[in-house]
Chain A
Amino acid sequence: TFKSNPKKQEIMKWNGWGYSDSKFLYNKKGQAEFTGKRYRLSGMIIPGLREWMESTFSANLQHKTPAAPILNSSAVQPPTLNEAFLKELKSTGIPFSHDAEDRVFRSHGHCLHEIFALREGKIGRVPDLVVWPNCHNDVVKIVELACKHNVCLIPYGGGTSVSSALECPPEETRSIVSLDTSQMNRILWIDEKNLTAHVEAGIVGQDLERLLNESGYCTGHEPDSMEFSSLGGWVATRASGMKKNIYGNIEDLVVHIKMVTPRGVIEKSCQGPRMSTGPDVHHFIMGSEGTLGVVTEVTMKIRPMPEYQKYGSVVFPNFEMGVACLREVARQRCAPASIRLMDNEQFKFGHALKPQVSSIFTSFLDGLKKFYITKFKGFDPNRLCVATLLFEGDREKVLQHEKQVYDIAAKFGGLAAGEDNGQRGYMLTFVIAYLRDLGMDYYVIGESFETSMPWDRVLDICRNVKARIVRECKDKGVQFPPLSTCRVTQTYDAGACVYFYFAFNYRGLSDPVHVYEQVEHAAREEILANGGSLSHHHGVGKLRKEWMRESISSVGMGMLKSVKDYVDPNNIFGNRNLL
């Protein structure tokens, strides 16, 4: 009776990122290679990766830290089942399971400490039961039963959380039920007059786009996790997509939300594009991180598929000039669908991920470009940085737009660096997450985290947070200099979103995850001290809870708490995120 495979673990890794068939590895010749067939990089040799890894992290192919190959079911605690709940659940006919693999798969997101523990075969508290509702009404029944029998519910969408949001609270004594929305993945209707689509919230990003594309539409919402993350998850975390400059973030895309709570179902009575009816109740739902209920159906804006897409890239002599250019682009409100600025370290990293080129001609051209930029234009290879661009729309306008942006870039010393570099940059977005698993095979751990800030603080935060990471690593006894790099990924009228990447070689440390967490904690303190936000789109979860009060004030906390107390007085949605 399943519409899609509920056993995601059969095609996906249980202790790493993404599809089981796709991963980086070093082949017998010691060359890096990306396996599988799913991505453009699949099946290719990446000649520069090994040297980059060895020189950046002082990593060594001789020093391996392989993961536990299979899940040892005996390491999983037997489920605490609420028999009365189970009995009534059976009578509804909604599928469920208490198989160890099913439970472990839904017990975590992708924070470093979560994956690290799985690789070591360490399993903490996991859900006791997994249920697969098929539709809104199934969810209503499950929530009713959970309330009746006092069972803790944790909604599960794509499992791509990086905020410890899916972790089961260890202090929870009730039976924990993971509510997997993956079977609620239909587009219920498309309204071409109003350009909206009504979609079940369990649908995964790539399926939603594919299905809409079949009708000539798209939502344009493309978070980096879109291969796996779900619509309900986007709503629950206030997600942001790469192309938000054209399509908007999730709060701009959503027209109507239906959510099942212990108090009943919340939804608006009409689909008007804007309302003045007191505070927008959608904003209690968006960002609620599974603490109030389950989002079951969403009406979203759709757009006709763009006629034309064009990638691009610009090289700047240094990061400061790049940021100044992005600021000017935002001031003129002419940002392309996506514009991202990588710092020098990331530029080098992107370079290391270039696949083997097949023709001498291409490598000759590359050499020529490099010569032009570094020797002729005098860019310092250790300071230059790159912006990647994506334009979308009708052909003529795209070309016009492109010229406008390149003209601005030129004023800040930017040189157009070709479509290829741009496209490769965006392609890397999807494979980069696989790279952490490779690092973890060789004593390298790392993660990314994000923030947003006003324009005038972008450079200061980038500099200070990167420096803080380096200093903290040193203070905490990390033996090798860490990778500490950032990129500006979104521009707004009043500020920008910045991503930090940080990784280090942990040889010689007895508790690397603890060190890692201390450094990340310090980095977040630095962000907040310098005027950055607690999160731009990853959310708070349990990882960043401690800073909520200072972020939104005590009164703000009280407001959110009173909503929680009213909607879910018995804490049925007990994942303890956010508050």
Chain B
Amino acid sequence: MYSSPPPTPFFNIADITLWTLDPMLKKRDDFEDMLEERRNSSDLRYALKCYTPVLYKGLTPCKVSELKQMVLQSDQLGYVITQVSKEKGVTSDEVTGEAAAILEEMAQRLQLSTVRFFAFTLSKVFKTLFRSICINEEGLQRLQQAIHNHPVVLLPSHRSYMDFLLMSYILYTYDLALPVIAAGMDFMGMKVVGEMLRMSGAFFIRRSFGGDKLYWAVFSEYVKIMLKNGYAPVEFFLEGTRSRTAKSLTPKLGLLNIVMDPFLKGEVFDISLVPVSISYERTLEEALYARELLGVPKPKESTSGLFKARKILSEDYGSIHVYFGQPVSVRSLAESRVNRSQFNLIPRHIPTRPSEEILSFVNDSAYRLVRAQEENMVLKPWVLLAFVLLQKQAAEEKQGTALDELTEQAVWLRDLSRQYGAFLHWPDHIPPSEVVSSSLSLHRGLVRISEGRAVVILSCASYRNQALNVFIRPALLASAIHTAASNRKQEIYNSFSFLRNMFSNEFILCPGATVQDFEEACYLLVKTGTLQINQQEVLITERGHRTLAFLTSVLDPFLQGYQVVCRFLCEQDGLTEKQFIPAVRKFIIKHLLTGRLRYTEVLSSDLQKNALAALIRLGAVQKIKGNNYCFNVFPSEARNRGL
């Protein structure tokens, strides 16, 4: 079996402070629709309005060109330039030139006129596409305060290309400082648009620059200087890329590490990290994502592609909710976690590899921030309907579902998710049946789910995924109870811990927080009357069965998916990384057609990749470096591991 440290000391429900665990007690702000004013007043006047945001109190205003000079003249970069010039045997002038070119390619050129242009155009576009864009204005007030006091990092969730334009649009509308945004180089493929984005504050980073010291130095120094000087809030996506599945992605640590560094090295008093949750009732990329997950390649970003995509303008994408979360102080995150004096003995301009302590601190912080994003994601009734519909589809109830039944199940799920702390936007003043039918009409393209078309099912799954974070811990517990050999608490914990470990590439589950997650799950299930837990045992209550059945079925597609991937790998004698996805897809299709597999969504390449990554992490599959990557499978071991 696997080894894991025993949960120490075994928790006692009464000891857990309620307010940290009870999601019902979370306070959230109200929303205002920012499009309402746009519909009632001139967009032109709005685009030309007087814009005087509150700036950082320690700001010494500087131009874009001065900013570049500061980077090129910094001690940090100077040190790396000398190093690189010695290593490569070229003059430091040449290396400096190289650095200047990198900076040129990277740097933003924020210009108010371009922002005004976007403000005008986006107003028109948004009004056509969306019914409303709802913002928590209190969050914006907190943000304004934070911008005044400390350098600010904005961390929006990433579900759509829309995200960063939307962010700048909101900040412009509310007279807040415009951010500079870390964007992927792929945008630069769109010539005119790329330059326009640059002028609205985007700076561009190559997707991979692993060993390039000079690139790294220019990049990190550029970000740090903008941040430290309070030039503008720095915005980037913790998840690194758009999530195609609407599940949050495992956070990337590189940029977070860079923006925390000035605090850790004492160069600023504090830094505020502001998680922002952007929830789309319908993402523009809905069908695109599903196809991508099924192996249809993502179209290259191009200006002409953008024009072709304008047909989406004729559709209704419902509403967007943007929630600006509570600013998180890096100082308080680091308090009693990081010993800052570790930087005392080396000049701070010499780049050093972050210590284990720092890495684990940044990692934990990243998970915390992604969870903060997840918690404030607004869920629409449709998300709950997606749960019900998908479960029905898998159960092969081909003849469709009666509206009454659907409504009953949706209402039951509504109440459950509320108890688990979901941020649900369910209009309580409207009869549930109307809520359900109006949701169905917005997503009419997806409702014919029973036909079992893969694109439709994956799109549907991505809606369901929006609420997975609400159920994931209870679902893991439910499955653990289901699979454990007895109802002894220790045994259930062990299988919980195993499942959690298995799925930590799939869901946001912070490494090392198994005990907390277990406690949280137990707390929720006990509180809602699903379980009773005493010293030794976990007992299911009379009315708990329905909840447990639901929770187990939440995790079931993933469990089955991972099992299929395991079965596939067991039949192989090693294969290259490139071959993996097409081969496993073929294997899965075969299983689906023969009816041995019920879940069409297992076709998602995201799940397949995550499963493989988990198996490599757990040591069941080995990656061998050779001419090409090979996976060496240890089938017996995979079987031993309960798969």
Binding site for B on A (CB under 8 A): 456-457, 460-461, 463-464, 467-468, 528-531, 550
Contacts and interface: CB of A to CB of B under 8 A. Distances in A.
Contact of B341 (A456, A460, A531): A531
B347 interface: yes
B343 A460 contact: no
Question: 7 closest pairs, A vs B, by CB?
Answer: A529-B340, A530-B266, A531-B344, A467-B269, A460-B266, A464-B269, A529-B341
B267 interface: yes
A550 B344 CA distance: 12
Nearest to A320: B60
Contacts of A456: 347-348
Interface in B333-373: 339-341, 343-344, 347-348
24 contacts: A456-B347, A456-B348, A457-B266, A460-B266, A460-B267, A461-B266, A463-B269, A464-B266, A464-B269, A467-B269, A467-B270, A468-B269, A528-B341, A529-B266, A529-B339, A529-B340, A529-B341, A530-B266, A530-B340, A531-B266, A531-B341, A531-B343, A531-B344, A550-B341
Nearest to B349: A456
A456 B267 CA distance: 10
Interface string B243-267: 0000000000000000000000011
Chain B facing A: main interface SS: loop
A200 to B, nearest CB: 41
Given A529-B266, A530-B340, A531-B341, 14 more contacts: A456-B347, A456-B348, A457-B266, A460-B266, A460-B267, A461-B266, A463-B269, A464-B266, A464-B269, A468-B269, A528-B341, A529-B340, A531-B344, A550-B341
Contacts of A467: 269-270
B536 to A, nearest CB: 43
Contacts of A529: 266, 339-341
B263 to A, nearest CB: 10
A529 B344 CA distance: 8
Contacts of B340: 529-530
Nearest to A550: B341
Interface of B: 266-267, 269-270, 339-341, 343-344, 347-348
A528 B344 CA distance: 9
B75 to A, nearest CB: 9
A154 B450 CA distance: 90
Contacts of A463: 269
A529 to B, nearest CB: 4
Contacts of B347: 456
Most chain A C-beta atoms within 10 Å of own C-beta, residue among B340, B343, B344, B348: B344
Contacts of A460: 266-267
Nearest to A467: B269
Nearest to A532: B344
A528 B339 CA distance: 10
B398 to A, nearest CB: 63
A463 B339 CA distance: 19
Nearest to B343: A531
Contacts of B339: 529
B161 to A, nearest CB: 39
Nearest to B267: A460
Contacts of A528: 341
A261 B347 CA distance: 42
Nearest to B338: A529
B264 to A, nearest CB: 9
Nearest to A457: B266
Nearest to A531: B344
Nearest to B269: A467
Contacts of B270: 467
Nearest to B262: A460
A531 B344 CA distance: 5
B471 to A, nearest CB: 37
A458 to B, nearest CB: 11
Nearest to B342: A529
B79 to A, nearest CB: 13
A444 B192 CA distance: 63
A463 B266 CA distance: 9
A68 to B, nearest CB: 40
A461 B267 CA distance: 9
Nearest to B329: A471
Contacts of A530: 266, 340
A570 to B, nearest CB: 36
A353 B341 CA distance: 38
A575 B339 CA distance: 31
A529 B340 CA distance: 5
A460 B340 CA distance: 13
Contacts of B267: 460
